[in-house]
Chains A and B, each alone.
Chain A
Amino acid sequence: MTEKRNKTHMEDVIINAVQNGPEVDPPADLTCRIMGRLHPKRPSLWIRLRMWFLRPWVVTVRPVTAIPAMTLAVALLALGFVAVREPVEKGAPELASVRFVLHDAGMHARNVSVVGSFNHWRAERSVMWYSPKAKAWILEAQLPPGDHEYLFLVNGTQFVPDPNAPMTSDDGFGHRNSIVFVNGTNEQAL
């Protein structure tokens, strides 16, 4: 056997040995011992939000529902085409000015953001500023008409519903989101 072949052969032997070398069985009660040390945790709102966004989506299409749905879709497309050809008077829907306020007299929070359906629940898009005069965290936002779910994110970790929001909605995980209604006349309807 040449030196090169010998080297390759030995390498194969070593790799094969690593692949198939013996392993020791773990103690029979190891799983029980591990599981016995775990404490159930209530998932935070942030985790539940993440899981909601990451959850697998199942789309089922049945011919019975697909045919009417496609007919409707084509009709809507055609309608949209006609509508687009009409002269646009007002353009895009008017945005309304919405003021988010979280009172914090002692400025206990280091930073606060508004996260909601209107900013895809991304805190970096809606960072609030602290008003020493109002002793509150404040953000003015321009939102389209409709109802928007939101929460305050305090110090980047803690989700807090708006204490002044008159309406809340179930987030599907046992917690509630605050709701702001925007009526499209440059005023928020609370």
Chain B
Amino acid sequence: MKDKREAEIIRKILLGDVQAYGVLVREYQRPVYNLMLRMTGDEDIAADLAQDAFVRAYERLASFNQRRRFFPWLYTLALNVARDWGRREGRDRHVFVEDAAVLVREQDRLDEPKAVNDRIDGAKAFAAVMDLDSKYREALILRYRHDFSMQEIAETLGIGISAAKMRLSRGLDMVRQQFDGGTND
């Protein structure tokens, strides 16, 4: 249903209704902005790059295959914008780490000890995911946060399906290894 609605919006845009694009911007600005924030670690740069990504998507909308989902196409384009920025800046890899402490909300401290422990583990795990090399981190985010299929992950990251599976598996392994022999038992 959502895909059909988006197809109709894209049709309107291609026929000259520029304002219809605002619907897609509002829908996806959050994940695109957060992608840029993870890639740059700077809010102002992230906002500028998110703008660039949406403008570029608008300019290239005619090449979008309307039988596909719009978001993976947009995400691929946004990732390329971020990579271009990284190359220009001479830093292909920049890590943005969330402060794990803020992930444990005050009211969570009142929960039973096991649940609190699990959340702390989750907070640490999330921080560890954010600390991964972007190629592993984005694969995990695409799969588990945005529900991309393996095919979509492979296309977005410009790799084969086997490589996409490998990145997911390797990403999980790398995060897990940080906790082996740690507090989780």
Residues of A within 8 A of B (CB): 1, 6-7, 9-11, 13-27, 30-31, 33-35, 37-44, 47-48, 50-51, 54-56, 173
A4 shortest CB reach to chain B, Å: 12
Question: Contacts of B19 on A, CB cut-off 8 Å?
Answer: 35
Are A19 and B145 CB-contacts (below 8 A) given A14-B176, A30-B51, A54-B11? Answer: yes
A-B contact pairs, 17 of them (CB 8 A): A10-B121, A11-B172, A14-B125, A14-B172, A20-B122, A21-B103, A24-B34, A24-B37, A24-B43, A26-B30, A27-B47, A30-B29, A35-B18, A35-B25, A47-B62, A54-B11, A173-B15
B142-185: which have CB < 8 Å to A?
Answer: 144-145, 172, 175-176, 179, 184-185
Task: Say yes or no: B50 contacts A30, CB within 8 Å.
Answer: yes
Main secondary structure of the interface of A (DSSP, over half): helix
Task: Say yes or no: B30 contacts A23, CB within 8 Å.
Answer: yes
Question: Contacts of B122 on A, CB cut-off 8 Å?
Answer: 13, 16-17, 20
Chain B, interface size: which category?
Answer: 35 or more
Are A34 and B51 CB-contacts (below 8 A) given A13-B125, A17-B126, A18-B129? Answer: yes
Checking B51, B55, B140, B176 against A18 with a beta-carbon cut-off of 8 angstroms, the contacting residue is B140
Total inter-chain residue pairs, C-beta < 8 Å: 121
B21-68: which have CB < 8 Å to A?
Answer: 21-22, 25-26, 29-31, 33-34, 37, 43, 47, 50-51, 54-55, 58, 62, 66
Question: Contacts of A173 on B, CB cut-off 8 Å?
Answer: 15
Other CB < 8 Å A-B pairs besides A9-B184, A14-B128, 6 of them? A13-B121, A15-B144, A17-B122, A37-B55, A43-B15, A48-B15
Question: Contacts of A13 on B, CB cut-off 8 Å?
Answer: 118, 121-122, 125, 184
Task: Say yes or no: A10 contacts B184, CB within 8 Å.
Answer: yes
- Chain B's closest residue to A54 (CB) is B66
Task: Say yes or no: B51 contacts A33, CB within 8 Å.
Answer: yes
Task: Say yes or no: B176 contacts A22, CB within 8 Å.
Answer: no
- Report if B113 contacts A (CB, 8 A): no
CA of A157 to CA of B9, assembled, Å: 24
B132 shortest CB reach to chain A, Å: 11
- Chain B's closest residue to A48 (CB) is B15
CA of A14 to CA of B37, assembled, Å: 21
Question: Contacts of B8 on A, CB cut-off 8 Å?
Answer: 56
Task: Say yes or no: A34 contacts B55, CB within 8 Å.
Answer: yes
Task: Say yes or no: A10 contacts B185, CB within 8 Å.
Answer: no
Are A17 and B21 CB-contacts (below 8 A) given A23-B30, A43-B15? Answer: no
Most A CB within 10 A of own CB, among B14, B26, B43: B14
CA of A116 to CA of B66, assembled, Å: 23
